[in-house]
Structure 1
Amino acid sequence: MSKTILYARVSTSDQDVSHQLTQAEAAGFEIDEVIADEGVSGVATKLSERPQGKRLFDRLRRGDVLVVRWVDRLGRNYQDVTDTIRTFMRQGVIVRTVINGLTFDGATTDPMQEAVRDALIAFMAATAQAQAEATKEAQRAGIEANRGDPAKYRGKKPSYDRGTLQTVLTMSREGAGTSAVAKAAGISRQTVLRINSDPSAADAVLVRWGL
């Protein structure tokens, strides 16, 4: 019997993967099992080399559905992400994203549909890596600019992480109300309003904390 598995990942040990399950359920997914890696970088470590990533490869079978918040949960390395998704599709696994509700599977045999699907996978994987590289560079710049003044550099720790920020911005762009966004992201309405009022500032806070 096929099952629906959510794979969640957070990059630092003080973050919580539970909001990714909340987001998936709010989007209408019925999750049978959650497999999560906590405190694992999506840049430095391939999915197949992560403790629970290995388990994910073992658990998935033909006909199963793999749900991820976005492709950056699988990784932030272009080659690894594209290879991973194509491997799953060849095995008959359907990959679905919570954000934007995208579906990737290997069922189609139409070459044009395959080309569009593969181009979208490549674009999303490239975007994930580019975002990771931009964040790392911005973090280095912020540390250098505020060297010698840790309090100025750090500030108050945010109540959201980068995945939550992306969820808020995406859902808000799609017209979701503040309360619905807050529930899906697992944060307060005030935080949602603050993020939407100045997305750049919200991103800068994450950069300062290395999130």
Structure 2
Amino acid sequence: MATILYARVSTSEQNLDHQQAQAEAAGFMFDQVIADHGVSGVSVLMKDRPEGRRLFDMLRAGDVLVVRWVDRLGRNYADVTDTIREFMRRGVIIKTVINNMTFDGSTTDPIQMAVRDALIAFMAATAQAQTEATKEAQKAGIAGAKARAGEDNYKGRKPSYDRATFDKVVSSLSDGVSISFIAKETGLTRQTIYRIRDHRADAEKALALWGG
């Protein structure tokens, strides 16, 4: 029997370490950590994620699967409930770090089963609802900003560099020039150069929006 932590973050900029640290602080110990990095819990089903698929292959009766909360399994109601039920059918015990919940399929009492299944459904629905609420709030915020500034003027913050400077930074980075030297040569801050290096597509999009 093994205890496995499954962790997931939706974007490549996020860090997985805090999920393991939080679980360990709650007293969990693991034989293995399985993690999906930069994978959406809304649009990508558990069985279609690289590491999520591994869980379906490796979990056996008596194993314990630990997640920070059910939203790490996913934010799609049907996917989360199907995943938990499939693992319980296999005899896997699912535990959450937050609220210290335990779900398993060993009980045969119909009342306990009903309470367990209702709680699973509620938590899965909450995970999806939180995502949908966040999306709606983001849409409302953007719409409000556009209404205040005018559709054509909603471009975000103007970059501190022009096209020539941007191209110089990209070229210098490709040549292996140090961040400090590029900052000195272009007059840009080190943080700006790091952003161009690490998020080039976003930096170029911002530049294009401002006519660069």
TM-score calculated relative to the size of structure 2: 0.69
Q: CA deviation digits over 1:79-129, x for unaligned, max 9?
A: 110010000000000000000000000000000000000000000000001
Q: 1:56, CA displacement in angstroms? A: 1.2
Q: 1:30, CA displacement in angstroms? A: 0.5
Q: 1:149, CA displacement in angstroms? A: 4.9
Q: CA RMSD in A?
A: 1.2
- Per the alignment, in what secondary structure is the counterpart of residue 55 of structure 1? helix
1:174 maps to which residue? none
1:74 maps to which residue? 73
- Per the alignment, in what secondary structure is the counterpart of residue 150 of structure 1? coil
- The amino acid that maps onto 1:12 is T
- The amino acid that maps onto 2:109 is D
Q: Which runs of 5+ in 2 are unaligned?
A: 147-153, 159-212
**How is 1:52-63 mapped onto 2 (pairs within 5 angstroms)?**
52-63=51-62
Q: 1:139, CA displacement in angstroms? A: 1.1
**How is 1:194-205 mapped onto 2 (pairs within 5 angstroms)?**
none
- The amino acid that maps onto 1:8 is A
1:22 maps to which residue? 21
Q: 1:41, CA displacement in angstroms? A: 0.7
- The amino acid that maps onto 2:88 is M
Tell me whether 1:96 sits opposite 2:102 in the alignment.
Answer: no
Tell me whether 1:150 sits opposite 2:159 in the alignment.
Answer: no
Q: 1:146, CA displacement in angstroms? A: 2.2
2:80 and 2:128 map into 1 onto residues whose CA distance is 9
Q: Which runs of 5+ in 1 are unaligned?
A: 153-211
Q: 1:59, CA displacement in angstroms? A: 1.5
Q: 1:145, CA displacement in angstroms? A: 2.0
How many equivalent pairs are there? 151
1:139 and 1:18 map into 2 onto residues whose CA distance is 27
Q: Which deviates more from structure 2 when the two are superposed, residues 51-60 or residues 80-89?
A: 51-60
Q: 1:31, CA displacement in angstroms? A: 1.1
Q: Which deviates more from structure 2 when the two are superposed, residues 143-152 or residues 8-17?
A: 143-152
Q: CA deviation digits over 1:40-99, x for unaligned, max 9?
A: 111101100011110111111110000000000000111110010000000000000000
- The amino acid that maps onto 2:20 is L
Identity %: 72
- The amino acid that maps onto 1:122 is A
**How is 1:1-211 mapped onto 2 (pairs within 5 angstroms)?**
2-147=1-146, 148-151=154-157
2:172 maps to which residue? none
Query: Where in structure 1 do 4 or more consecutive aligned residues deviate above 4 Å?
Result: none
- The amino acid that maps onto 2:83 is T
Higher relative contact order (CA 8 A, sep 6+): 1
- Per the alignment, in what secondary structure is the counterpart of residue 146 of structure 1? helix
1:78 and 1:117 map into 2 onto residues whose CA distance is 16
